[in-house]
Structure 1
Amino acid sequence: MSIKKYVTTALTALTLSATGAVSGGDGGHIHDTDFSFESPFGTYDQAQMQRGLQVYTEVCSSCHGLQYVPIRTLGDEGGPSMSAEAVREYATQFEAPDTGPDAELGDTRDAIPTDHFPMSNDPNAPDLSLMAKARAGYHGPYGLGLSQLINGMGGPEYILSILVGYTGEEKEEAGTLFYENTAFPGGWISMPPPLYGEDVDFEDGHSNELHHEAEDVSAFLMWAAEPKMMARKKAGFIGVLMLTVLSVLLYATNKRIWAPVKKRAKEEAANS
């Protein structure tokens, strides 16, 4: 995926926030959640990824797309880790443009793993491919970012807080219905509650209460935005380890090279 596409997605998400569908974390109450992938050695929970995918597929995908996420990545290690057969079967529930000889006719076909997830069905529903990175849940003193240094960006926490932040109050302004939400800046959002709890039935028997559904889909959206997070953590750890070993070797080499010089200097100083 090109950098241009990533930047375009982030800018689109920020632009669409003006519609009231999604916004930044300023002014709302964000719940701090202990996700499995947050620590330096944390990893994605495979079972949680699969539950989050199910919530997205059965609920969120009716409006929101993941157009920059290839379906084949559902089988990659570190994410949902579905089998190749399961990925192929999952892909068939979506449609993709037919790029064959009759492509100009606008026909569609069943999607295959090499296709991407569909685009959003609603023009006011932002694409969720990078939403977990485009949103900042925590804000410290302006210009310092101290809270983000400690807590991280908090994108998944922001999504989770939005999903569970509806109070049930409604109001209508200028022909638009708004819903009170404790996590959304200003307290009112135009997106109706997407989850109510018990919206899906998980095969692993995990609780499908509202908070658990929201947590699972938030974790899945973090994976969608950062599918290679575990690989980056591993590479970073190996890099730090190699630099540590190199530093020790350089220190020992320096001591060995300069030892005769320092010894001779001490003898000359003693004889003078």
Structure 2
Amino acid sequence: MIRLVGILVGLGFTFVVLLTFGVGAYTAATEPAAETAEHAFHLTPKEDVHFSFEGPVGRWDVAQLQRGYKVYKEVCSACHSLKQVAFRNLADLGYSEAQVKAEAAAWRVPGIDPNTGEATTRPGLPTDAFPSPYPNSVAAAAANNNAIPPDLSLMTKARHEGSHYVYSLLTGYQEPSAELAERFPDSLPGPGLHHNPYFANLNLAMAPPLTSEGQVTFDDGTVATVDQMAQDVAAFLTWTAEPKLVKRKQTGWPVLGFLLFATLLAWFAKKSVWANAKRRED
């Protein structure tokens, strides 16, 4: 009797689950989803900017990468880490060994006092990674309206159309539109937030980091407009995320050529083998 009751209870539970699933599926299929501010006003990354590394034969613009590094160093590094990149990797951007050592030494990285064993900071070495500007996540959140600034090492790989996303975000700060205020007043930025339609939920804690022309002085004399700085740092962050991007493309062409040659060779071999077989049949 107990076993029968258990079976009936199990069947009843299964029926309820299936019924709930069926009702939910029918509702989702027949009733349109409520429109949200994110769906209505979120913008896809701008596509009107061309980067030198795009396309099948793209190349790094080393001068642009160096400018982007300077933007990161003088603007972005105040809040964002780059913990997947070591100072020695800057040699790939055309810096000499002496310049890499000088750049590393200009940064302070976590260390240990050899006399007391206490945590301290020391000048960076080429083997060190770019340090975080905050000692821990609690300090990072406290300094940024409870929003922990993300590490930027792989940011362009973590976002759709990563290079264009970074560029669009940096140049996309604006006042909320009147239509947004009228239709979705709850989606207006609150205290400490800033409106940016290229961000997923339209508002983010990061204030506009690039605010005026000349905020950074480029060594090659390029005029540092907001648009130029945004392009350069987007290119630099693409390099940090995919340093082998261009080399992979360069390797791909010989591989495709070999595969094409191997395919033709196999086709001619097949023709030769079957030609001999047909002659024997005849």
- Opposite residue 91 of structure 1, the aligned amino acid is A
Identity of aligned residues (%): 38
CA RMSD of aligned residues (A): 2.2
Unaligned residue ranges in structure 2 (runs of 5+): 1-37, 135-139, 142-147, 178-187
- If each structure's helix is expressed as a fraction of its own residues, which one has the higher value? 2
Structure 2 residue 109 is the aligned partner of structure 1 residue 93 = no
- Opposite residue 192 of structure 2, the aligned amino acid is L
Counterpart selection for 2:46 from 28, 31, 43:
31
Q: How many residues align?
A: 220
1:175-207 alpha-carbon deviations (Å, 9 max, x no partner): x32212131234322210000132111121112
State how far apart, in whole Å, the 1-side matches of 2:276 and 2:96 are: 63
Secondary structure of the equivalent of 2:236? helix
Q: Give the superposition deviation at 1:100.
A: 7.6
1:23-53 alpha-carbon deviations (Å, 9 max, x no partner): 9xx9224211211111011011100000000
- Opposite residue 107 of structure 1, the aligned amino acid is T
* CA radius of gyration, larger in: 2
1:179 matched to which residue of 2?
A: 194
1:212 matched to which residue of 2?
A: 228
TM-score w.r.t. length of structure 1: 0.75
State how far apart, in whole Å, the 1-side matches of 2:107 and 2:230 are: 23
Secondary structure of the equivalent of 1:42? coil
Q: Give the superposition deviation at 1:237.
A: 1.9
1:82 matched to which residue of 2?
A: 95
Structure 2 residue 168 is the aligned partner of structure 1 residue 161 = yes
Secondary structure of the equivalent of 1:245? helix
Q: Give the superposition deviation at 1:168.
A: 4.9
TM-score w.r.t. length of structure 2: 0.72
- Opposite residue 135 of structure 1, the aligned amino acid is R
State how far apart, in whole Å, the 2-side matches of 1:107 and 1:126 are: 24
Equivalent positions of 1:18-167 (< 5 A) are 27-32=42-47, 33-76=49-92, 80-98=93-111, 101-102=114-115, 104-121=117-134, 122-123=140-141, 124-136=148-160, 154-167=161-174
- Opposite residue 166 of structure 2, the aligned amino acid is I
Unaligned residue ranges in structure 1 (runs of 5+): 1-22, 137-153
State how far apart, in whole Å, the 1-side matches of 2:231 and 2:116 are: 40
State how far apart, in whole Å, the 2-side matches of 1:253 and 1:102 are: 74
2:26 matched to which residue of 1?
A: none
2:33 matched to which residue of 1?
A: none
